[in-house]
Amino acid sequence: MKVLVIGGGGREHALAWKLKQSEGVSQVFVAPGNAGTARDPDLVNLPMTDKMALREWAQANGVGLTVVGPEAPLAAGVVDEFRAHGLAIFGPTQAAAQLESSKAFSKAFMQRHSIPTAAYQAFTDPAQAHAYVNAQGAPIVVKADGLAAGKGVVVAMTLAEAHDAIDFMLVDNKLGVTHNAGGARVVIEEFLEGEEASFIVLCDGVNALPLATSQDHKRLQDADQGPNTGGMGAYSPAPVVTPAVHQRAMNEVILPTLRGMSADGNPFTGFLYAGLMITPEGRVKTLEFNARMGDPETQPILMRLQSNLAQVLLAATRTELDRVQLQWDPRVALGVVMAAAGYPLEPRKGDVITGLPPDAADTMVFHAGTAQDAQGQVVVSGGRVLCVTALAGTVADARTQAYAALDGIRFDGAQFRRDIGYRAL
């Protein structure tokens, strides 16, 4: 079977890497891919992103399964396009992907279906947003309503930070984010205390199959300082997700979401990512939904997966996830992100990357923002550049191994945290 992975980031490199290991898969194509997928002799990059062109190519080349990695093609309706022509594709429809593409949609959905989340209000008028923040006080959370590549959230610890965030997202719209009806909008939420975890499941519209637990690090700098990012590292499993928390997440968040989406006429298929806040008492609240796997959580999760990923995802396209059981490596996987100079707001591109180690069974460098220049050199092409991921018996050993591999990699201005996994130690 031929498999197509849509996307070009670290998540897609990891998906393609795992899919090529699946028995029964003859070839894996990645569109558009990156320098990491280009360097892998078992993967083929396709220089295309248009959904019609991708669908026509998949038809012409007998692709048996397509897997969508990033949020933008989902929001653009690539799943609808493929399904309309009888092609097997794993991901949510454009309507279902609104769980991620519109914060206001997802908050209203959670409220309507009694899914635990933070209190909120949505605003397009800056004066009303500023007045609401003044009335609520700080700390408070300001989110851009739309696709912001993980960077549209400000956890404002002071009123000044909250007002600056409103001006940045709503008045100036420096992120260039628009909601589904067009224009800028912010969602302002109550601040929740606790520990965050990434709870990711596979969905087939009816059934949900949880993946291994994971936890990422959103802040740019050590000790959770600096601006929010798309994620600076992650590890799996996440000790904070105890069996009791796991059961709560399934019963109070995931299953009501599946039922609610079906009831609203938008059955959810694909990866469903619930960003959870776990309170000190072990209760869960939903911070956000993503309609795809997390990045960088995908990298450590897939390092641990022992099942045939292609067959699992094909079963999901046939509403057969209730027949599937996943097998996991009991060891810990931990990934450290190396980001470009200037990330997250103004990442610098073009810096040459050297010292990339060879792939190994227990240490992988997954590429995200990389490309090959005319001389064949690997260069920085995006904000988050690499995710150096290691598999070992303990969190401490996985961390040591990942940083040992990372220390040989060089590019000017590289940013990375030295404390990934500290919560689990």
Reading phi first (left if > 0) and then psi (alpha if -120 to 50, else beta), residue 146 is in: left
Q: Residue range 363-390: average pLDDT?
A: 97
pLDDT digits (tens, 9 = 90+) for 57-92: 999 999 999 999 999 999 999 999 999 999 999 999
Q: Distance of CA 175 to CAs 141, 143, 146, 166, 337, Å? A: 16, 11, 10, 12, 22
- pLDDT value at residue 342: 97
Q: Residue range 37-44: average pLDDT?
A: 96
d(CA 152, CA 417): 21
Q: Residue range 325-330: average pLDDT?
A: 98
Confidence category of residue 382, pLDDT binned at 50, 70, 90: very high
Sole residue written with tokens 């997802």: 106
With 80 as the cut, is the pLDDT of residue 151 above it? no
Confidence category of residue 177, pLDDT binned at 50, 70, 90: low
Sole residue written with tokens 């989406």: 261
For a pLDDT cut of 90, what percent of the chain falls above it? 85
Confidence category of residue 377, pLDDT binned at 50, 70, 90: very high
- pLDDT value at residue 185: 85
Mean pLDDT of the chain: 94
Q: Is 180 helix (H, G, I), strand (E, B) or coil?
A: coil
- pLDDT value at residue 83: 98
- pLDDT value at residue 152: 80
pLDDT digits (tens, 9 = 90+) for 247-280: 999 999 999 999 999 999 999 999 999 999 998 8
The answer to whether the beta carbons of residues 6 and 78 sit under 8 Å apart is: yes
Confidence category of residue 309, pLDDT binned at 50, 70, 90: very high
With 60 as the cut, is the pLDDT of residue 150 above it? no
Q: Which residues contact 228 (CB under 8 A, 6 or more apart)?
A: 150, 151, 153, 154, 155, 218, 219, 220, 344
- pLDDT value at residue 62: 98
Structure token digits, residue 37 = 């997928």
- pLDDT value at residue 179: 61
Sole residue written with tokens 């991921």: 389
- pLDDT value at residue 44: 98
pLDDT digits (tens, 9 = 90+) for 96-137: 999 988 888 898 999 999 999 999 988 988 999 999 999 999
The answer to whether the beta carbons of residues 382 and 411 sit under 8 Å apart is: no
The answer to whether the beta carbons of residues 248 and 278 sit under 8 Å apart is: no
- pLDDT value at residue 305: 98
H, E, C per residue of 97-110: CHHHHCHHHHHHHH
pLDDT digits (tens, 9 = 90+) for 216-254: 999 999 999 998 898 999 999 999 999 999 999 999 999
**Radius of gyration of the chain measured on its C-alpha atoms:** 20
pLDDT digits (tens, 9 = 90+) for 393-415: 999 999 999 999 999 999 999 99
The answer to whether the beta carbons of residues 184 and 178 sit under 8 Å apart is: yes
Angle between helices 103-112 and 255-263 (to 10 degrees): 100
∠177-89-1 over CA atoms, to 5°? 135
Confidence category of residue 170, pLDDT binned at 50, 70, 90: confident
With 70 as the cut, is the pLDDT of residue 35 above it? yes
Q: Which residues contact 44 (CB under 8 A, 6 or more apart)?
A: 27, 28, 29, 30
- pLDDT value at residue 98: 92
With 90 as the cut, is the pLDDT of residue 176 above it? no
- pLDDT value at residue 174: 62
